[in-house]
Amino acid sequence: MPGGCLLSMLMYCPLIGSRASYELSGGNTYPAASRPSGMTAWSPQTYGYENTLFYDYSADSLNGIRATHQASVWMSDYGDFSLMSVTGDPGFLPGQRASPFSHEAKSSRPQSYSVELPRYELHLEVAPTSRAAVVRVRSARSDTVTFIVDPHPPGNLIEILPSEARLQALTVTNMGGTPDNLRSFLTAKFDRVPLDYGTWTDSTVHPGQTQSEGEHSGAWVRDPAGTPDLRAGGAPIQTDGTGL
């Protein structure tokens, strides 16, 4: 069992069973931060979006916090997306934006997940609500911080509303076992008007563009103060159902 977990009647360890692989199951769980019966669970993502086994305790890098509706790696996910905070311009795809991390510099509890990202000198923390989550970033260098919002493929539409400090997306992402007409809606609300923003499609960046549509499109929003907060949620109904 991964270390660093104290079990009691009041707290359980989300890491139990997370040291696993397709070749040898150790439980094949992921460390979810989630409210009881919450609509969405929030977990670190160490692999790519296309992998149902998206977290491995043995991994040494992390590429985002994943919003997932997957009850088990043996079941398909749908409406999933990931959030990542960076500084500079590392790139937007999971392998480009990933940062090393260590278990000594993270905290995994049912009510929150937090981690240090040494590549960017950032502290990233997510705390779930019943239908959404609050994401907080703190910078050791007071740099401008960029939030990457990555609705997973295949097929999505994303739009930034800069004056409202908000973005929204529509995605059809799923791994099977869902109705053909499934659509998932994503809304993210920032705590201040962004300094800069843009969209991206695969590896092509579109600075200043507010809308993008394609097989794999996402958005980035840059905060001027280095201490951004973000509320994000997803729902299979409409953006009003995300609980923000």
The DSSP secondary structure of 60-102, one letter per residue, reads: SEE-EEEEE--SSTTS--BS-EEEEEESS---SSHHHH-EE--
- What domains can you pick out in the chain, each with its CATH number? 41-242 (2.70.98.10)
Is the pLDDT higher at 186 or at 179?
Answer: 186
Amino acid at 143: D
Q: What percent of the chain has pLDDT over 70?
A: 80
Is the pLDDT higher at 142 or at 167?
Answer: 167
> Residue 146: which pLDDT band, with cuts at 50, 70 and 90?
very high
Whether residue 39 is predicted with pLDDT greater than 70 in this model: the reply is: yes
> Residue 7: which pLDDT band, with cuts at 50, 70 and 90?
very low
What's the whole-number mean pLDDT along residues 92-99? 93
**Strand intervals (E) in the chain:** 41-45, 61-62, 64-68, 81-86, 99-100, 106-109, 112-117, 122-128, 132-139, 145-151, 156-161, 166-171, 184-190, 196-201, 204-207, 211-214, 217-223, 229-235
pLDDT score of 131? 84
What's the whole-number mean pLDDT along residues 224-229? 77
| pLDDT tens digits, one per residue of 230-244 | 888 876 665 554 555
| pLDDT tens digits, one per residue of 70-93 | 766 667 777 788 999 999 888 899
